[in-house]
Structure formats: C-alpha cells, structure tokens
Amino acid sequence: MRARISKPVIFLAALSILFGFSVSFADEAVSTPAALADAFTKAKERSTFVLVDAFTTWCGPCKQFQEDYKTKSELRESLAGVVFMSIDLEDSTSTKFKEEYPVSSVPQFILLDPDGVEHGRISGYGGMESFMADLDLLLEHPIALDEFLASARADEGWEGPITLAKHHAGRREYEQAAPFFVEGLERGAPGENRLDLLWALLVGLREGWSTVDEAKAVAEQALNNPAETERYWYRLYNSMSQVAGFAKDDSLRHPYLERAAQEAKESGAFKDNIQLRIDYAHFVLGDFEAAAHARHDGLEYNRDPYAINIYAWYCFEHRVCLEEAEKEAREGVVMEGDPAHIAMLTDTLAELVHLRGETAEALSLVLHCIELDPDNEYYHNQEKRFRGILDGGGE
C-alpha cells in the first residue's frame, strides 16, 4: 500500500538543526547517512509519510525486526510506500527526538507527516506478518494525532479512555494514563488493562504520585477477575514483585507468584524462566539450594563478574552450593570487566574462603579489592576485620 498525504505539507527546515540520525530509505533498500530533516524532505517530495523505527541495541524484538528487514523482501516491500528510517534511542543524537516523541518501550514505529505531526504508532514487533497487518491499518487511516485524541475523548464507551491511557503510557506519561485506565475499566474494558494500570501505578510509586495500597487494590481485582491473555499471571506477578520490593514486604508476592509458576509449568515455560524459578524456590518453597541452582542456570545466559557475584553471594548468604560458588567466583575474578564489579566479586570470594578457614587468603583478596576500588571504605573495613582475625581478635 502506498501512503499519500492529500493536503499540502510544509517542511520545517529548523528540524535539520535539532535532529541528526542514520536514515535508511526502504524504497532504496540502503542505509544512507542523513538527518531526519532529509527524511521529511523526501516524504514531502513523494507526498507520503516518514516511519521511524525507534530502537535500542539491547532489545531482542528490535534486533529481530532489523534482521527480518535485511533478509525478507516482503517486509521491505511493505515499507516502500513510506520513507523509512531507524533511530537508536541510546545514541546522543536522539535526545531531541525523544523529547518530541517520548517512547516508553521498544521497538516503536512512529508515523510522521513531513511537518513532524504524529499520525500513529506500532508498539513492539511480534513478527513480520503481524507488523505488516498493523502497518496496513495505520496507513489506511492515518489520522493526525490531535484529531485521533479528540475522537477518543468523545467516545462514550470504554475504548476512548483506554486509547487515551495507552497514548499517555506510550509517551511515559503514566500519571496521566492511570485515571484513563480506571475510567475505561469502569466502563467495561477487558481485564488485561488492569495489568497496564498496575504498571502505571508501579511507576507512580517510584515517582511519588501513587501508593502501595492503590497497587494492592488493583492487583487484587486482577487476581479475582483474571483475563484470558498470554502470560497474564506472570505479568501480574512481575509487577507485584516490584511493588513488594518497593514496600520491602515479601508477603505482597503471594499468591501471584504461585499462580505465575503454575501458569509457566502448564505452558512448559517454567524451566526457561530463571527469575520465576528463583523466586518460587526462595519465597514459596524456602528451598535456597534450588534457588541457587536456578541462579547458576542463569549464568548460561549472562556470564560476567556482576552476574557471577549475585550467584556467589546468594550461595554465601544462605550457605548452599559453596564449593560451586567458589569455583565460579575464581573464574569470574580473572574476567575482563568493570573494576568495581570485579572488586565486589573478589570480596565475595574472600568471604567464601574465609568461611572455610582460609583467612590469610581472604585478606590477600581484600587487598586486591582495595587496588581495584581504592576509595571504597567497605574494603578497608574488610581489611581491618581480617587482620584482626589473624591477630587473634576474632570476628
């Protein structure tokens, strides 16, 4: 489908001063260094839109989209009717873009006319076919954002408030999104929207405009009125585990954790969900060894000094898997990495060897911590502690 803009468009030359990114025009199937202004100019010449792929380098779905774009001609052809470009949100040149078009999750595909007016978004990437279907819908009715929001405000059903809520949430305006989620749910919106409301309230806890009691109330409603949506219980637990961490109250994890574990086991996803396995073993079963084994399995996916330290320190704290923890720590301290992270792991190794009576080696390891992170007072206190033990003073 070839998108067209029927009304005259005015290009704002000032944008070339504000923005500068890597641009690739889909119809040319090449990556051409240019400014966003160049994309707007090209869109004006063709009477079409700019579609911006807002991504990060660490985002899995972002990488999958980019791989599909390179290898699948159908995807490239679906973008031939627009000027397509990608913007790395972590690049310093993207600051102005993020201020103008806030993004709360990646990838986001933002449709802009040559004036820079937003005409809609596609959030996430679930594969080529669903993306192409969403793109067709977006290009079929590319209403200007102001008109779109006005239409949503006039809607007397639940769709209008939920549309407004998701608009604000997509721009990280969660305080504005929350009351629209509440209004939509009161008008009969599907229950999965409670998960989005809960997430907004979780952000509010961090920002200071919501309370733990408000989050608990929404979670209880979600518990008693579950929705038929993928990974419902895991999403609910994931939010409540963070609420529990914020409130320093692990009881808030229950019974969401049990439901999430049951859901994952029934779907066959439990084994691969490392964090869920850790939490279930630790908080439900009280089996610290099983939790340590799950943490160790996680090192297969993320093995660096920081991750190894989390595993080894857990083993030390709970006195489980100590031999394996020491082995992993010894391998981790010789890896390349942030000196501060290596110092933390070296200190954990010192505690492990001290635990089995090798205090002299523990002191030597702590002295190395001081070399790595000389301004950290904790390591100097560790040195005094171990020297005192070696001098016969005890712990």
- CA nearest neighbour of 123 among 179, 87, 166: 166
Question: What's the rounded Cα separation, in Å, for the pair 123 and 221?
Answer: 26
Q: What DSSP designation does 93 have?
A: G
Question: What's the rounded Cα separation, in Å, for the pair 281 and 301?
Answer: 20
For residue 139, which amino acid is it? L
Question: What's the rounded Cα separation, in Å, for the pair 48 and 302?
Answer: 43
* C-beta of residue 43 within 8 angstroms of C-beta of residue 49: yes
In this structure, what token pair is assigned to residue 343?
Answer: 């110092």
In this structure, what token pair is assigned to residue 112?
Answer: 């802009």
**157 Rama class: left (phi>0) / alpha (psi -120 to 50) / beta:** beta
Domain ranges of the chain: 15-142, 287-395
Class of the domain covering 15-142: alpha beta
- Using DSSP's 3-state secondary structure scheme, residue 213 falls into helix
CATH number for the domain running over 287-395: 1.25.40.10
Task: Say if pTM beats, i.e. exceeds, 0.95.
Answer: no
pLDDT in tens, the chain (395 residues): 445 443 333 333 333 333 334 444 443 323 333 568 889 999 899 989 999 999 998 998 999 999 999 999 999 999 999 999 999 988 888 888 888 888 888 999 999 999 888 888 888 898 999 999 999 988 887 777 788 789 899 999 999 999 999 888 888 899 999 999 999 999 999 999 999 999 999 999 999 999 999 999 999 999 999 999 889 999 999 999 999 999 999 999 989 999 999 999 999 999 999 999 999 999 999 999 999 999 999 999 889 999 999 999 999 999 999 999 999 999 999 999 999 999 999 999 999 999 999 999 999 999 999 999 999 999 999 999 999 999 986 67
Count the helix, strand and coil residues of the chain and give each as a percent rounded to the nearest 5: 60, 10, 30
